[in-house]
Amino acid sequence: MDATPAISELVKAVRDGFDSGRTRSLRWRLQQLDGLRAFLVERGPELERALRDDLAKNPTESQLTEIGVVLAEVSHTISRLRSWLRPRPVAVPLALAPASASVILEPLGVVLIISPWNYPLQLLLSPLVGALAAGNAVVLKPSELAPATSAVIARFLPRYLDDRSVVVIEGGVAETTELLAERFDHIFYTGNARVARIVSAAAAKNLTPVTLELGGKSPVYVDDTVDIVAAAKRIAWGKFLNAGQTCVAPDYVLATPDVAGRLVEALRGAIASLYGEDPRRTTDFGRIATDAQFDRLSALVSGRTAAIGGGSDEAERYIEPTVLTDVDRTDDVMAQEIFGPILPIVTVTGLDDAIAYIRSGDKPLALYAFTNDKTARRRLLTETSSGAVGFGVTVAHLSVPGLPFGGVGESGSGSYHGRRSVETFSHEKAVLSKPLRPDTLGLVYPPYTPKRASFIRGLLRRLS
Ligand code: NAD
């Protein structure tokens, strides 16, 4: 007989944990955050090994982009949580005086967090920080496509947290489907837009709110007002980090033919300075997570002459940092999120053409621009829509805790990080309190005698 409890029983146990009221106190919340911090520190070596097994991540990169990101989020939250949770007073209109009004943050209940494989630790545990800080019970669903990381989290994390209120459920599509049949109070999903539609449809059955952290094609605009060599370094770093498997990685570059030509040479130098002459030989450059992803990416390069790179090795799931020029806007590589170490450069006639092209596609998760032209910056900011904008820098906006992180349209809805995470996982409850005496409301109660009607109309005129 299988001794593992059914998914519905595990979810019910966690709901009982929430219903017991244990998750509400500030003390419980801070204890969980301390536990999470201890897990990340004490299990750091196991986590680094797992991330190397899953994605060939260099341990320093794992600290920088996974473990360290969550630790920073934990510290930021612990030091501010008490003040974030204070009721926020709100002004009351004179007509209602005397009265007081405030907004309080209330835990939502049981939260489901579903995460993908590319940053399998960060994207599961960073939302967990907000969910715990907001006083929720949590069901965590790591990605089956990063099995080593999933296993370490499932094995060790429950030892550091209140296991009556937090559970890790491993598995693939079947388990996620079973989970989605349960009722949650919030679903936080990070992954692709196809599955996001499945998650949204399942959530809609219970009117469960969802946060969708999705991807898309994040453009980079480069013009001739900047130092192209410095810009190339920032672009190459953001693009080739985690072998291009980063949701906010630059997906493609838009530049005039002249800038594009200079950029290719600068990118060649940038790649060599980051990963040496043969990136395959450094442990600083990652590998593609799965065979399916490797095949998809190989097909994008096959039959083309790359301006830089283009090589690959199936046995290692290695794809060389690659730059493609002569890219047509209708090419396959421009019809999908690349999500790998392939950077197409699409030529444009200028800023108008670049903006028109960006607007013709889905709203991206991030837009990057390397320009010192104030008008170009303003126009990109106001004439395009994206989850975030980075001027002179790629990817790093997600490490600013005060900036909400999330997409818009096809790149997602809702956001998190820092205080926004606590708000995402809370209900903002409106509270109005008015003494029974003096009964000022008596002035607007029926019957609407001519005198009272004229008083009410006068009042409304003064208020409008
Ligand atoms: P994935 O395949 O690991 O899927 C994510 C989760 O969805 C997994 O837990 C998986 O079990 C579940 N899932 C998969 N198929 C399902 C189905 N049919 N029904 C129910 N659940 C299912 O990851 P992915 O989607 O390949 O991740 C890559 C995508 O995620 C890219 O588009 C990337 O841009 C995006 N992404 C976004 C962010 C962000 O923060 N906005 C971060 C990372 C990745």
Q: For residue 443, what pLDDT is reported?
A: 87
Q: Is the domain of 172 the same as that of 276?
A: no
Ligand 1 mean position to 213 CA, how many Å? 9
Q: Is the domain of 447 the same as that of 371?
A: no
Q: Is the domain of 178 the same as that of 267?
A: no
Q: For residue 323, what pLDDT is reported?
A: 98
- Residue whose structure tokens are 């003494």: 435
Q: For residue 464, what pLDDT is reported?
A: 77
Are the beta carbons of 243 and 275 closer than 8 angstroms? no
Are the beta carbons of 116 and 446 closer than 8 angstroms? no
Dist CA 12 CA 26 (whole Å): 23
Q: Which residue's alpha carbon is at the smallest distance from atom 3 of ligand 1? A: 116
Sign of CA dihedral 273, 275, 278, 279: negative
Q: 394-411 as b/e, with b when 16 or more CB fall inside 10 Å? A: bbebbeebeebbbbbbbb
pLDDT tens by residue, 317-344: 999 999 999 899 999 999 999 999 999 9
| Known catalytic residue at 213 | yes
Q: Is the domain of 456 the same as that of 360?
A: no
Q: For residue 2, what pLDDT is reported?
A: 56
Q: For residue 376, what pLDDT is reported?
A: 98
Ligand 1 mean position to 186 CA, how many Å? 17
pTM for the whole structure: 0.95
Q: Is the domain of 261 the same as that of 173?
A: no
Q: Is residue 156 predicted with pLDDT exceeding 80?
A: yes
Extract the tokens encoding 144.
């089956």
Question: Which one is catalytic: 66, 247, 320, 337?
Answer: 247
**Does 364 sit in the ligand 1 pocket, CB within 6 Å?**
no
Q: Is the domain of 167 the same as that of 244?
A: no
Mean pLDDT within 334-356: 98
191 φψ region: left (φ > 0), alpha (ψ -120 to 50), beta (else): left
| Known catalytic residue at 247 | yes
Q: For residue 356, what pLDDT is reported?
A: 98
Q: Is residue 262 predicted with pLDDT exceeding 60?
A: yes
- Mean pLDDT for the chain overall: 97
Ligand 1 mean position to 337 CA, how many Å? 13
Mean pLDDT within 285-307: 96
| Share above pLDDT 90 across residues of the chain, in percent, rounded to a whole number | 95
- Among 175, 189, 195, which residue has the most ligand 1 atoms within 8 Å of its CB, making it the best to mutate? 195
Q: Is the domain of 180 the same as that of 265?
A: no
**Does 73 sit in the ligand 1 pocket, CB within 6 Å?**
no
CATH assignment at residue 301: 3.40.309.10
Locate the ligand 1 atom nearest the alpha carbon of residue 365 and give its number: 41
CATH assignment at residue 164: 3.40.605.10
Question: Which one is catalytic: 66, 213, 337, 410?
Answer: 213
Ligand 1 mean position to 142 CA, how many Å? 10
Q: Which residue's alpha carbon is at the smallest distance from atom 24 of ligand 1? A: 191
Ligand 1 mean position to 277 CA, how many Å? 33
pLDDT tens by residue, 423-448: 999 999 999 999 999 999 988 899 99
Dist CA 140 CA 124 (whole Å): 7
Dist CA 459 CA 381 (whole Å): 43
Q: Is residue 108 predicted with pLDDT exceeding 60?
A: yes
pLDDT tens by residue, 230-252: 999 999 999 999 999 999 999 99
**Does 200 sit in the ligand 1 pocket, CB within 6 Å?**
no
**Does 339 sit in the ligand 1 pocket, CB within 6 Å?**
yes
Mean pLDDT within 163-176: 98
Ligand 1 mean position to 286 CA, how many Å? 19
The one-letter amino acid at 34: D
Q: Is residue 151 predicted with pLDDT exceeding 80?
A: yes
**Does 249 sit in the ligand 1 pocket, CB within 6 Å?**
no
Q: 447 lies in which domain range? A: 434-463
State the burial class of residue 112 (Cβ atoms within 10 Å of its Cβ: 0-12, 13-18, 19+).
buried
Q: Which DSSP symbol is given to 63? A: I
Number of domains in the chain: 3
Instruction: Select from 383, 347, 384 the least CA-distant residue to 365.
Output: 384
**Does 184 sit in the ligand 1 pocket, CB within 6 Å?**
no
DSSP bridge pairs for 342: 322
Q: Is the domain of 205 the same as that of 232?
A: no
The answer to whether the bond into 438 is cis (omega within 30° of 0) is yes
Q: Is the domain of 163 the same as that of 198?
A: yes
Q: Is the domain of 296 the same as that of 259?
A: yes
Q: Is the domain of 165 the same as that of 305?
A: no
Rounded to the nearest 10°, the torsion over CA 374, 375, 379, 380 is: -40
Q: Is the domain of 193 the same as that of 236?
A: no
